[in-house]
Structure 1
C-alpha cells in the first residue's frame, strides 16, 4: 500500500465504499471513558472490538483513548484515520471485514499526555495489554520489581512517570487529591490472576513512595481479573490489501485475527462499564478457573509448538499442524494439560482441546511460530512450569512439559541446526547468553545453567530428579538428533 494508491485514506465512515461492515453508531456521538495502555494488534482485535459492539448495542461514553507506551508507528498510522481501522476476521468459512470506531484518541510515547488522559474525569476504566514483561511486577513476591528499568526510573521520579506502575500510581494519586473517583484497572494480559497480580504491583510501587496512597489504593481501587483469547497474528501486506478491497480506502492500521473470540471478566466495576456482553464477554464472580484452563492448554501448547515448530522449519502454526508427528505432540500436550485441571462446570476439557486443535489448523491464519516464541522467560513459568508442578504433585505425565522446556532450552542457543542465527527476543536474552555461551553443548549442563536463573524455574521443579531426568532426556535427543528427528522419536513413544 504505497503513497501512490489512488484510493483515499480511511478517515471517516463516509469514506468506506466497499463491503466492510460499518459501526451502527456515530463514533463522534460518544465520549471517551476508557484509557488503554498497550496499543497493539491484540487490543485492536479484542477489547476495542468488544467495545465497538457495546457502543452499538447500548451506547454510552465508552470510547477508548489508546496509548502506545513506546512505539510511535501505530499511532502515526491511526491518527490520520481518526482512530478508524479495519478488522479482518479469517476462518475456514471465509473472510469478513468490519470497520471499528471505538478508538477516540491515540497517544504514543508521551508520558505527560498519557498521565493527563488517566486523570480525565471522564475516564472510568483503564485496560492494559502491555505483555508479561511490560508491567515490572515481581511475580515471586507479588509486588513491584525495583530492578525493572521502567520501575526503577519511576521510583526515582514518581511525579513524572513513564512506566505502567508509575503511571497508574501517579494518576490515582492525582485523582484522589482532586476528589475524582478512581478508575477500575483491568488487565487483559496472559498472566495468572492478572488483576490481583497488577494490584500487588501497583500497591507495592505506591508503598515505596507514599504509604497513605498505597492504603488508599488497597481500599478503594478495583482490579478485576480477566481472561482473553483470540489468536492475532502480525499484520502483513495481505492484511492491508484485503482491508483496502473491503473498504475502498487505504488503511495502514488494519489488523487480522481469527473469528473465535473469548473474554471472561470478573464483574467488579464501581464506576460502571460498557455492555461488553454484546461483544460476547462473559461476566463471572471468579475468572481463575477459565484463566488457568486457557493459560495451561492454549498458551502452554502454543509455546511448545512454537519452539519445536520454529526449530524444525515450520514458519506458521498451521504448518505445525500439517506435520503429523508434531501435531501428535500438540494433541499430547493438550491432553496432559487438560488432565491436571480441576473440573469446571459447563466447560468440557476434551471439547476445548479439540476446538483448540481446529483453531491451530486454521489455514487462513498465518500465526508465526517465531512471534509466539518471544519472551519465553516471561511465559514459561505460568504456561509450562506451573502445570508441570501440578502434574508432578498429581502423579500425572511430566513428559509433555519436559519436552516443551527442552525445546525452549534448545531455542536459547540462538542458532538453528543449519547454522542460521536468530535473536531470542527475550527480556533476559543477555543473561541467557552469558549463562550458556561458554558451556559445553551438553543437555545436563545447559539445563542446569538455565534452571538456575533467578526468579524463573520454581525450586520444586529445579530440584526434582524426575523432572530433571525428563528434561535432560528430551534435550539430549534434540541436541544430538536435531529437532525433526527428536519430534519423530518423541511422537512414537
Structure 2
C-alpha cells in the first residue's frame, strides 16, 4: 500500500485517477466549513473538475473544522500528513467502482486550535466564497443566536462568517459569497437569515452592508455518502492500493443545482456538471419531498425490523411498497417538478440508488437527527395532506415508527443508539411520561401543529396501537396490503 501524500502521487496504482493539475500553484479562493464525507465526495470533486480547467488555480479550497475533540484533531492531523489529499471511491448500481484522489483542498485549519488563523483566512483578500456543510440541524436561527460566542469569541460557523465579514468591511474588502451545500430547502436564504441576525446583533451597519453587497445562492445537492467505518476504510484502501486515513465512498450518481448568484466571482462550476438555474426551488421540492422524505420513511420501520443497512432494507418488498405508495398516493400529486423532470422516472431512480449493493449506507445514519429532518422533508406534504383532506396513513405510520425508534429497542429486543441532538430534557420527559401522543408535542415539531388535526391524531393513534400490538412487520404488511 502506498501512503497518500503529495510526494507519492506519481507512484499510485494505474486504476486510480489523480489530480490533472499542478497542485503547487493552487491558491484557496474557497474556504469551506465542515469537511465531512459529503463535502469530500460532492463539492470537493466538483471543484477538482474546475481546477482541471486551465487558468482556475485560484479556486482551490481551504478546509476549516470548527468541532473539537479527539476525532476532529485526528482529522486535522491526517489532512496535514496527507497534504490535503483524500480518496473517493464511487460505486455504481451495477457493482462497478472507480477511485480517484481529490486534491482540491490546498490547506486545512482546525479552528479550535487557532481561531484567529481561521478568521484571517476567511477575511483574506483571496477568499471569495465561504461554503458550508454543517448538517440540517446547524441552521436554526434560534440555535445560531443562542450558541453564538459573540464578537471576538467565535463558536459556531455563523460566528466565524460574521466576524470575518466584519473584518473585511473594516479593511475595505468586498464580502465573500456564502454558499450553503447542505441538504436544506432554501439553504441560501436560511444562511442569509442567520448571518444577518448575528450581524444585526453586533452592528446594524454591518448587517446593512452584508445585505447590500453579499450573496447567498440557494442550491440543491444530491449524492449518497455513507459513514465510513474502520472496516470500510480497510476495504476502500485495499481496493485503491492507497493508505488513506480519510477515504470517502459514495454512489456514482451526483447532482448539484444552484443559483448563479455570486458577489465576488466563482469557479467555472458549469464545466463541473453543476446546473446553474433560477428554478432551484423546484429541484429542491422534488429531491426533498420525494427522495429525502422517502429515506426518512424507510429508516424508522427498517430499524425497528432489525435492518442496519439501507440496501438490505430495500430487499424487503413491504418497505419498497411503502415508498411506492407514499410517492403515488401522497407526495407526487402535491409536487410540481421543474420542466423536463418526470417524478415517476426520478422515483424509479431513487429505488435503484437506495438498493445500490456497493453503498452500505447505515439506517441509523439516515435516522439520526430525525426531529430536524422530519420537519425539513415532510412538513409541506403533511400540511397539504391535512389541509386537503388527503390520506394520512403513511405519514402517521412514519411518526409512530419514529416514536418507537426514540425508545432505542427494535422489535426483536436488540437495542440501538438514538442520536437526537434537537430534543431537550423536557422533550425526553414527555417521551417517557406515558402520553401516547407525546411525540406529536415535541418542541422541534411545534411548527407542524400535528395535535391540532383530529384526523392526524386518530391516524397516529391507530398506527401506534398497531405497532405496539403487532410489531413493525405485521403493521407494515397490513398498511401496504400484503
Equivalent residue for 2:465, pick from 476, 484, 489: 476
Partner of 1:76: 77
Counterparts of residues 362-401 of structure 1 (less than 5 Å): 362-401=356-395
2:348 is the counterpart of 1:354 = yes
What SS does structure 1 have at the residue aligned with 2:445? coil
Report if the CA contact (8 A) 2:237-2:247 is conserved: no
2:436 is the counterpart of 1:446 = yes
Partner of 1:198: 191
Q: Which moved more, 1:454-463 or 1:328-337?
A: 454-463
Partner of 1:259: 252
Equivalent residue for 2:339, pick from 341, 345, 351: 345
- TM-score computed with the length of structure 1 as normaliser: 0.91
Equivalent residue for 1:273, pick from 263, 266, 272: 266
What SS does structure 1 have at the residue aligned with 2:63? strand
Equivalent residue for 1:64, pick from 61, 71, 93: 61
1:55 CA drift (Å):
0.9
What SS does structure 2 have at the residue aligned with 1:490? helix
2:471 is the counterpart of 1:490 = no
Partner of 2:103: 101
1:246 CA drift (Å):
5.1
Q: Which moved more, 1:471-480 or 1:255-264?
A: 471-480
Give 5+ residue unaligned stretches, structure 1: 1-5, 139-143, 440-444
Q: Distance in 1 between matches of 2:84 and 2:292?
A: 30
Q: Distance in 2 between matches of 1:337 and 1:64?
A: 38
Q: Distance in 2 between matches of 1:115 and 1:484?
A: 52
Q: Which moved more, 1:475-484 or 1:416-425?
A: 416-425
Equivalent residue for 1:283, pick from 273, 276, 289: 276
1:183 CA drift (Å):
0.2
Report if the CA contact (8 A) 1:65-1:106 is conserved: yes
1:254 CA drift (Å):
0.9
Equivalent residue for 2:27, pick from 25, 31, 35: 31
Q: Distance in 2 between matches of 1:254 and 1:244?
A: 7
Q: Which moved more, 1:245-254 or 1:257-266?
A: 245-254
User: Number of residues paired by the alignment?
Assistant: 471
2:126 is the counterpart of 1:118 = no
What SS does structure 2 have at the residue aligned with 1:456? helix
Q: CA RMSD in A?
A: 1.8
What SS does structure 2 have at the residue aligned with 1:446? coil
Q: Distance in 2 between matches of 1:231 and 1:425?
A: 20
Counterparts of residues 216-227 of structure 1 (less than 5 Å): 216-227=209-220
Q: Distance in 1 between matches of 2:31 and 2:179?
A: 10
What SS does structure 1 have at the residue aligned with 2:361? coil
Report if the CA contact (8 A) 1:18-1:247 is conserved: no
Partner of 1:428: 422
Partner of 1:141: none
Q: Distance in 2 between matches of 1:56 and 1:223?
A: 26
Q: Distance in 1 between matches of 2:341 and 2:169?
A: 41
2:18 is the counterpart of 1:16 = no
What SS does structure 1 have at the residue aligned with 2:420? coil
Q: Distance in 2 between matches of 1:8 and 1:355?
A: 37
Equivalent residue for 1:249, pick from 236, 239, 242: 242
The alpha-carbon distance between structure 1 residues 333 and 278, as it changes in their structure 2 partners (threshold 3 A), is same
The alpha-carbon distance between structure 1 residues 460 and 453, as it changes in their structure 2 partners (threshold 3 A), is closer
Counterparts of residues 159-198 of structure 1 (less than 5 Å): 159-198=152-191
The alpha-carbon distance between structure 1 residues 298 and 58, as it changes in their structure 2 partners (threshold 3 A), is farther
Partner of 1:45: 41
Report if the CA contact (8 A) 2:383-2:448 is conserved: no
Partner of 1:146: 145
Partner of 1:158: 151
Q: Distance in 1 between matches of 2:60 and 2:448?
A: 45
Q: Distance in 1 between matches of 2:283 and 2:479?
A: 30
- TM-score computed with the length of structure 2 as normaliser: 0.93
Q: Which moved more, 1:423-432 or 1:6-15?
A: 6-15
Partner of 1:318: 311
1:302 CA drift (Å):
0.5
Q: Distance in 2 between matches of 1:221 and 1:35?
A: 16
Q: Distance in 1 between matches of 2:6 and 2:469?
A: 56
